[in-house]
Amino acid sequence: MEQSEAFRNRSRVHCGPAGDPANSNLAYDLQNADGSSSGSSGYDGEQPTGSFALAGTFAPPSFARRVMSSRCAFPIPRFRAVILGLLAFLTLLSGSSFAAESTNTSEQPNVIVIFTDDQGYNDLGCFGSPNIKTPHIDRLAQEGRRYTSFYSACSVCSPSRAALLTGCYPKRVGLHQHVLFPQSNYGLHPEEVTIADHLKSAGYATACVGKWHLGHHKETLPTSNGFDSYYGIPYSNDMNHPDNKRLGKMSSDDRWRDQSSAVTLFNTPLVEGEEIIELPADQRTITRRYTDRAIEFVEANQDKPFFLYLPHSMPHIPLYVPEDVYDPDPQNAYKCVIEHIDTEVGRLVQTVRDLGLSEKTLIVYTSDNGPWLQFKNHGGSAGPLRAGKGTTFEGGQRVPCIMWSPGRIPAGTSSNAFATNMDLLPTIASVTGVPLENDRKIDGMDLTPTFTSEESPRDEFVFYSSHGVLEGIRIGDWKYLRKVARRGKNAKGPAPEPEILLFHLSEDIGEKNNLAEQQPERLQRMHARMEELNEEITANARPVWRKKADS
């Protein structure tokens, strides 16, 4: 099968050492917090065939069925799998500085990625929350390393998740134009190589437990993208299955006051494998049930290496918790949800400890984007950062991150190293000793040097808006934004001039002091580099999977 030119000669881009912002005062600007169009509550979608279809007919897939038609520009997956297996075997023979020097897969490190939804930079005790108590997550930080300059690749759900799993800018994998909805006819291409694909090729057990949001058709579900098993919701918890419209409306506060009635307002399906097992999902207990499944997976695979991807669907609105931890005051809703997540993280980590797996397990805790500030007491806080979800300001994309691996990552440390969630794939590859494929370009960089040093391999990062528009770049401590006002389809007259912003983050973490007029030459250089990087990403972008019209 012949590959397109976009898939040939993909080499990685390496950059110089990064600067990083320091702390500043806790004043922050809640203006420009645009999240209104992401994750809408309900929709009118097409009626699928089959009572258990997530969208259209729903035949069970298998890993072996991932052979594409001759029209596809991807390599044959079976051939790729053979090559991956050989590379993994050779790497295991040679060993690495982090993976055990043994061909016995039971010696390889385990990996757990905990990915919360819409959790703000300030929404953990160890990241400065004045009122949210998170002792279990704080303990992870005390025994591991906090990353205080860690970015999600986008300020909304689907693009950020695509970046984490593929190590690429969302635009490179075609998932940069906002989020997927239940009526969306596309998703993550099954021939993209995810973290799960990489580790599965080396004998890892793989599981996704939680919110997926990269496509709900069988070809785009976790079981078609490297995961042995899946248990969770296929999209955001405020979205409805196409067979079922939203049953009514309640304010956020009223939903919290009457959880038993509100839980049926959103017909969000709970899926196991490729089948709906609960509709609507009872979201009051969903965080606890995710943890139950995660613990079952860890216990079942304690004698072999495993990769657990645990993308919690909270604290994305609507907010729910079990009755035994419920606080009826709506002002405490968000706090209650985060503290419940903390308890469940504690249960999972304690299982790892009890099984004697601590020193052979890497745990990463982070969020998909910043807080949804328009929901006020239901929306979290970005602390000293400007704005939140849906924006390219720091509050939209700088998120809390903790990495924990006793014996590998020094305890009680903090790093300002410049890093992104795209960097997790190559970092995990380095820790586990599983080689990356060299047939495709990725944008992530190996962060293992930052486990013990402030030096980062990353010095630049491009910002795309929540709708996929090129909007800025960070180079070292400097951040340039070119914000263009969104216009409706029927807008008339000339478009307004873009707002040009330049911030020195090490001195202005809250992005309050615009230095654009004082630094025209720097602006010009940064704009040119931003356009150069975007041109390369666009030219080498790979296709998403799209549903055929007759299927």
User: Is there a contact between 390 and 463 (Cβ–Cβ < 8 Å)?
Assistant: no
Residue 250's CB is within 10 A of a number of other CB atoms, namely 14
Whole-number Å distance between alpha carbons of 379 and 369: 12
DSSP tally for the chain: helices H, then strands E:
11, 17
The two beta strands, 398-404 and 145-151, are: antiparallel
Smallest Cα–Cα separation from 60: which of 221, 191, 214, 196?
221
Say which of 136, 178, 198, 213 is annotated catalytic.
Answer: 213
Distance of CA 21 to the CA centre of its chain: 23
Give the residue from 241, 372, 396 showing the smallest Cα distance to 317. 372
CA 234/CA 251 separation, integer angstroms: 24
User: What is the longest distance spanned by two Cα atoms in the chain?
Assistant: 67
What is the rounded distance in angstroms from the CA atom of residue 304 to the CA atom of residue 326? 38
Q: How many CB atoms lie within 10 A of CB 94?
A: 9
Sole residue written with tokens 């645009």: 34
Q: And the tokens for 108?
A: 């390889």
- Alpha helices, DSSP H only, in 451-539? 520-539
Question: What are the residues whose beta carbons fall under 8 Å from the beta carbon of 504, sequence distance 6 or more?
Answer: 477, 478, 513, 515
Options 154, 157, 208, 336, the catalytic residue: 157
Omega prior to 520 cis, within 30 of 0: no
For the stretch 471-505, what's the b/e string if a residue is b when 16 or more beta carbons lie within 10 angstroms of its beta carbon? Answer: bbbbbbbbbbbbbeeeeeeeeeeeeeeeeebbbbb
Structure tokens at 294: 């995660």
The two three-digit tokens of residue 388, written as one number: 């939140």
Q: What angle do CA 435, 440, 441 make, to 5 degrees?
A: 100
Strand partners, 278: 270
The three-class DSSP label of residue 458 is coil
Length, in residues, of the chain: 551
Query: Has 157 been annotated as catalytic?
Result: yes
User: Looking at this protein, which amino acid is placed at residue 233?
Assistant: I
The position carrying tokens 């873009």 is: 498
168 is catalytic: no
CB proximity list for 8: less than 8 A, separation 6 or greater: none
Side-chain-facing half-sphere of 374: CA atoms under 13 Å = 14
Q: Are 109 and 381 in contact (CB under 8 A)?
A: no
Q: Any idea which residues carry the catalytic annotation? A: 157, 213
